[in-house]
Structure 1
């Protein structure tokens, strides 16, 4: 399986992360500050231009208030 950042699952994950950020009431710049990254990192993540590793997903879950396991389960459903 190619590691494409434009895969349907990657796009779905990016959309889910945007929803969680907005539900948490954070702007991209706020999330970037909490993650200790540049806003461009968040922009690339949310646009699907950057792949998210499992450690980042766990950290995002802590900051945004979601369970990473639930996100993975939703992504794995057809």
Structure 2
């Protein structure tokens, strides 16, 4: 198993976090203030330059107004476009609950 910030799944997670921030109408500075972290922390997370652990991911998701979950609700798509959560294959993205309407 690849444990790199360069994996397709991790890059997909970073893209999802950026999209959630933008959908929430928040700037990097606003998210950083909610986390009590410097703006560069949010920038590096969104750019995939910093690997998040599960606790940091939970805090970041909360700052973005969403939550971490154990399984996908059908909204999470893998980088290839197939829903890995529905096929029983766990991906990092399955832990992020996206607002699905």
TM-score, with normalisation over the residues of structure 2? 0.66
| 2: CA distance, partners of 1:5 / 1:33 | 24
RMSD: 2.0
Higher relative contact order (CA 8 A, sep 6+): 1
Query: Which structure's residues are more often helix, by fraction?
Result: 1
TM-score, with normalisation over the residues of structure 1? 0.83
Runs of 4+ in 1 over 6 A off after TM superposition: none
Cross-structure match for 1:35: 35
**Which is greater in Rg?**
2
Count of residue correspondences: 77
Q: Give unmatched runs, 5+ long, in structure 2.
A: 90-101
User: For 1:57, what is the secondary structure of its paired residue?
Assistant: helix
Q: Give unmatched runs, 5+ long, in structure 1.
A: none
| Deviation per residue, 1:38-73 (Å, 9 max, x gap) | 111111100011111111111122221212117x63
